[in-house]
Structure formats: structure tokens, C-alpha cells
Structure 1
Amino acid sequence: MAVTLHDVARRAGVSIKTVSNVINDYPHIRPATRTRVEEAIAELGYTPNLTARNLRSGRTGAIALAVPDLALNYFAELAAAVIAEAESAGFAVLVEQTGGERERELELLQSPRRKLTDGLIFSARGMGQEDASRLDVPYPLVLLGERIFDENVDHVTMRNVEAAQAATRYLLGSARRRIAVVGAHRGEVVGSAGLRLRGYREALEEAGIPSDPDLITYADPWHRFNGAASVRTLIETGVAFDAVFAFNDALAFGAMRALDEAGLRVPQDVAVIGFDDVDEAEYSIPSLTSVDPGRAWIARSAVGRLLERITAPEAAGPPRLLLADFRIVERESATAGARGSGA
């Protein structure tokens, strides 16, 4: 027969209410009592009836995460980090992929599936500022990314402009002057591509170097094949460049492949820096210098903020904008003083 609360209470020598308080992590329990109950739970192999608990609390015990593209390592690793953070708090995660398409994102916000979860962490790409009113939803919501700026929604994001400035300055600091961009989006202002392009241009202006439109290549989606195609086009058209700033690591991996095919050495002939610092960056050949935009912090902060909204909405306060710190992780593809070495 299944072990019950009564069994645990008898083994621990406490009331059923005390066992329930321990299971629900009630704070005002004496440490010795908590230990005794936890030992009884372990000895008997008791498993709480989560369905009954959720019915009592009005919660499902699950949250949703919606991202544009799980084929991109950044979003796959972000999803893994969100799942780990949520599980540590006793919540499951339902992961959905939107393809970054506006209609799918709008449908997701109103989907009946939202009733299966207690809240949503949402990385929007297709929606625009004109869709901000659609974020007024009857459940806890935390936004990721840059697409929607709305003071009425919690928003966890990265410092795209500042990080792109830092990446460009890093390349300029190793005497690179013809820095090609891989991954711009035509006409985009708000969004990762638009903000990173802005940071790149501001860093060039700060250094007194004019931005050359011939050095800006466009790629969407940000997959390896587009990174390779962009660099092949630069080489075929004879555009001179001595560095590549790829707007994500997948584009950078493709760019390095194309450079290798052309007989150009990385970093001696062309330095390469990526963005996202995915796990693969450490193991590519050469290993990839990249911007770590604070992915782990973003996952931790997004889950924490959403759970505040779910479990203690009256104490969560007004919506907040949370910005992650970033750092440049130096590896072999772009290193200080590497220009010309090994010639």
C-alpha cells in the first residue's frame, strides 16, 4: 500500500499538520523536528500527492518557456538552465518553440495550453512594439530578449549594445581596423541584431573609424550556413577585412569554416569573435573568443522573478527590468597581440 501522511507522522512522532508543513517548506519549523520528519519521509519512501497539493493551491506546479529556435545552441542551453532552476524550486517546465514568427507568438500567448502551467517565460522575436498590448495576460509573464519594451511586464535581458561595443573594442585593441559584421538584419532597430550593430558602429565612431557598409553582411536565421555564406561572399567580392564580429557563435563557426576553406588563418589573418559563449565555443578549432552575455544569470533571474509572481504576487512589487552583466571570454580565435603571429 502507498505510504501516507499518517505513516510519516507516526514514524516521526509528530502531527499530520507538522508533516504537511515540512513538505510545503513552512519556515517556522524547529530544525530538529524538520530533520526528524525528513528522515521519516526518506525511510518510508513517501512521495507527496502533487495533484492534490496543486488542487489545494490552485497551481499546476509547472511553468512554460517559449523560445524562437531550439536548433540554436544559445536557446537550447538557456532552456537547460531554466529547467534546472525551475526543478530546484519544485516546478516542471513545458518548452515551446515559436520559430520567431509573430502569429505563432501571438497564438502562444492566448493558447489554452497556458492553463496547463502557472506562468510563462517568453522570448519574443516576431512581435513588435505595436503588439505590446497583447502582453496584458491573466497569468504571470516574464519577457526575455529585446523585442518588446513595456513597463507593465517583467523583463530580463542582456546588454546588447554595451556588449557589442566591448567586442568591437577588443578587436580594435589588437590592431584590427577592417572589422566585418556577420548577422545584421535589414531595417532592424529593436532586436538583438539591431542593437549589436548599433554597438559595433558606436565603438568604431569612438575610435575615429568610419563604418564601411561593405563590411556589414546580413544573415537570418543565425545558423552556421549563413555565417559561412556571408564570409564567402566577402572573400569573393574582394572586400578587405582583418576581423569578423559574428552576432552569435553559430555564425562565427560558419565564418571560421569559410576562412579555413579560403586558406586564411584564424586569428593571424582574420580574428573572429562571436556572441553567446555557447559550450561548443571552448571546443571548436580554433576555440572561439566570444561574449558571455550572462545566460546563467538570465535563466536564474527569469525563473526567480516568475516564481515570485506565482507564489507571492502580493509581495512581488511592480514589474522590473533586469539587465545581465557580460564579459568577453578570450580564446584562440581572437587574442591580444595575435595579429601576424605564426607568419
Structure 2
Amino acid sequence: MGRVTLQDVAEHAGVSMKTVSNVVRGYEHVSDAMRSRVQRSVDALGYRPNVAGRRLATGRTNMLAFAFPDLRRPYFAELAHVFSRVCAAQGYQLLLEETAGSAGGELSAVRGREAGVVDGVVIHPQEHTPTEIDRARGDTPVVFLGEDVRPEGADLVAIDNVRAAAEAVAHLVALGRRRIGFLGHEVGGLSRTSAFRLEGYRDGLAAARLPFDPSLCVPRAVGDARGAEDAFGRALDAGLSIDALLCRDDLAAVGALRAMRLRDLDAPRDVAVVGWDAIGLASSLVPSLTSVAPDTVALAEAALERLRERIEGRPGAGRSVTVGHRLLVGESAPYPDGSVD
């Protein structure tokens, strides 16, 4: 069978080509029943839109890109899944671009419009600042993720890392913990995300009138669970004495829990542990992990809404949007009464 056309889908679904076109383009004034009917035919026939033709006809491809540092990090894998679902619900196709946190990868991602591939890009930069990327993006609409200095004409969507970290510390203080460590930032210099989370950690200590002790902050040389396990294990062997631990991310928390278990330490009895990102495996650990949970659906929806507005020509200054978060309480740092979510 040759290339499947709109006419093929229309005949299969028993509707007009205009109806099929409206569904494929994500036109909102289509009933749910009709959208489902057409989508079944699209799936059955394996129809794929002709991006080049649509670009010529409308100047757009209805394709967006989500650019992020590393798909091996569970947070970004799960966030990419959320973006894919939200894009599909809004009638867009999504191109995933792993930048490896490199300068070249990030610049390549925001130049996709010049090649006629995507209409706009959501990017979580790591190597470049948003201002540097903004200068290089040409006419490509871009929305940035992550707390940073927002370029004048671009939009940025984030959670409040500082506030979330302070709230996590407050939770540990409510458990009666007073020697609270921080695990998982970078040995060779802080990333922007780590800097904000460390700032919130210090704010939380200050709010509880606890002193900041740099010796309780344990960096890792490699940003994965094994790197955290090695770093935290060495610190424990060297005499680190803490009763609670805020981790930069859930991978650091996984490493910390393993290092503790190998030394016959228990969470939360000996050290209450809080992670960050609430990745899927967090609730399956033993003990289940208490973790800061960003509202990833709200993050994706806010980013795509602002990107769509820019694609449609919205002028003006950039906007900073902060979406919500919550502390998902598990067994590694339960509520004061011992309960969990």
C-alpha cells in the first residue's frame, strides 16, 4: 500500500476530508466522539501527516520540540512523557531532542525552525544560559524551563526550587531532626538548579534557627545514584553525623539509601531522607521515598500555552511562570505521626 492520504482516512471513518483535517490539525471545535472516530481510522491505517506539504500550505508544521539534557535521568524521561501527552491532546506532534547538556546540542535544538522542522521549542538548558540561547535562536519561538534569568523577549516556566527546599527542611525539622545534611550537588561547581536548592536548604535551616554547617553538605563527582552512594558512603565512613538528609534529586536519595543499608543504618530511624522529583520508582523503594514532587502536568501545559501564543505572533516582554509542587511523603521521612501519603 502506498502513502496513506487524508482521503483514505476519510473513507475509512465515513466522514469528510475537512473533518479529518480538523482532527489532525487539533481544531478544538470537534466533538470527542468524532475525534475518537477519526483517530481510530488514523491509527488503523497508520496515517502520518505530510509535514513538508503542511509547511508549504500554512507556514507551520504543527510539530514542537522538547530539548533536555539527558534521557537517562528519570526526571527528564518522565517529563518527556508528560509533554508528549499534553502535546497530543492539543493536536501537536512532539520531537524529543537530547542535548547531552552540550553547547552545540542546545543551539542545534533551537535552530530547528530554520530547517523547517518545528514551529517552536521548549528547552531545559544546562550549558548555555537562556540569554545566550535567546541571542542564537533567530526567529524560533522558545520557552525555557528552569529557574534562571529570563531573556527580555522570552518566556520561562519553573517551580520555586528555593521555596520547595525550604519546605522540605521544615518537614524534617517537624520530625525533630536537627543535623540535616544536603547530598548530591556537583563537585566541580554548582549548576543553577543545585544553587537554588542549596539556597532553599539554607533558608529552611535559618527559619528553624539551625546553623548552616558546610561539612554537612556532600557533593558527588558523578550525577547518578552510584556517584551519590560513593560520596555519601565515604562521608559516613569519615564520621559524618546527621539525622536527616535532603537530596538534590531522587537518584542521590537512592544512592544514599543504599550507602546507609550497607552500613546497617535505617531510614527514617537513623537518618530521615528526602529526595527530589518524585520519579516513578520512588514509591517502590523500601522504604518508599519522601520526595519533592513538581507539578509536571502544569509545567508542560504552561510551557506549551506560552509557546503556542508566541508561534501565533504574540509580541511583548517575556513572562515568568511558577507552577506548583508538593512534598510527597513516604516512609523514608514520614509525617510526625508516622503516616505517609
Instruction: Tell me if TM exceeds 0.5.
Output: yes
> 1:222·1:248 contact (CA, 8 Å) conserved in 2?
no
Match of 1:214, SS? helix
Partner of 1:313: 313
Return the alpha-carbon distance in structure 1 between the equivalents of residues 192 and 317 of structure 2: 24
**Offset at 1:134?**
2.4
- Structure 1 residue runs of 5 or longer lacking an equivalent are none
Using structure 2 for the length normalisation, give the TM-score: 0.84
**Offset at 1:148?**
4.4
**Offset at 1:36?**
8.3
Cα deviation digits, residues 245-289 of structure 1 (max 9, x gap): 101001100100000001001111110000111111110111000
Bigger drift between 150-159 and 76-85 goes to: 150-159
Return the alpha-carbon distance in structure 1 between the equivalents of residues 259 and 151 of structure 2: 40
Match of 1:71, SS? coil
Match of 2:292, SS? strand
State how 1:287-306 maps to structure 2 within 5 Å.
287-306=288-307
State how 1:188-203 maps to structure 2 within 5 Å.
191-203=192-204
Bigger drift between 265-274 and 225-234 goes to: 225-234
Partner of 1:336: 335
Distance 1:114 1:122, change over 3 A: farther
Identity %: 31
**Offset at 1:297?**
1.3
**Offset at 1:184?**
2.4
Query: Aligned residue pairs: how many?
Result: 332
State how 1:113-128 maps to structure 2 within 5 Å.
115-128=116-129
Cα deviation digits, residues 95-122 of structure 1 (max 9, x gap): 1212223343234434687531111111
Bigger drift between 87-96 and 266-275 goes to: 87-96
Using structure 1 for the length normalisation, give the TM-score: 0.83
One-letter identity of the residue aligned with 2:318:
P
One-letter identity of the residue aligned with 2:180:
I
Partner of 2:57: 56
Bigger drift between 150-159 and 44-53 goes to: 44-53
One-letter identity of the residue aligned with 1:328:
L
1:325 matches 2:324: yes
Match of 1:116, SS? coil
Match of 1:277, SS? coil
Distance 1:271 1:132, change over 3 A: same
**Offset at 1:28?**
7.4
> 1:215·1:239 contact (CA, 8 Å) conserved in 2?
yes
- Structure 2 residue runs of 5 or longer lacking an equivalent are none
Partner of 2:143: 142
Return the alpha-carbon distance in structure 2 between the equivalents of residues 23 and 332 of structure 1: 45
1:72 matches 2:73: yes
Distance 1:100 1:24, change over 3 A: closer
One-letter identity of the residue aligned with 2:192:
G
Return the alpha-carbon distance in structure 2 between the equivalents of residues 324 and 221 of structure 1: 29
One-letter identity of the residue aligned with 1:128:
T
One-letter identity of the residue aligned with 2:72:
A
Bigger drift between 134-143 and 209-218 goes to: 134-143
Structure ID, larger Rg: 1
Partner of 2:282: 281
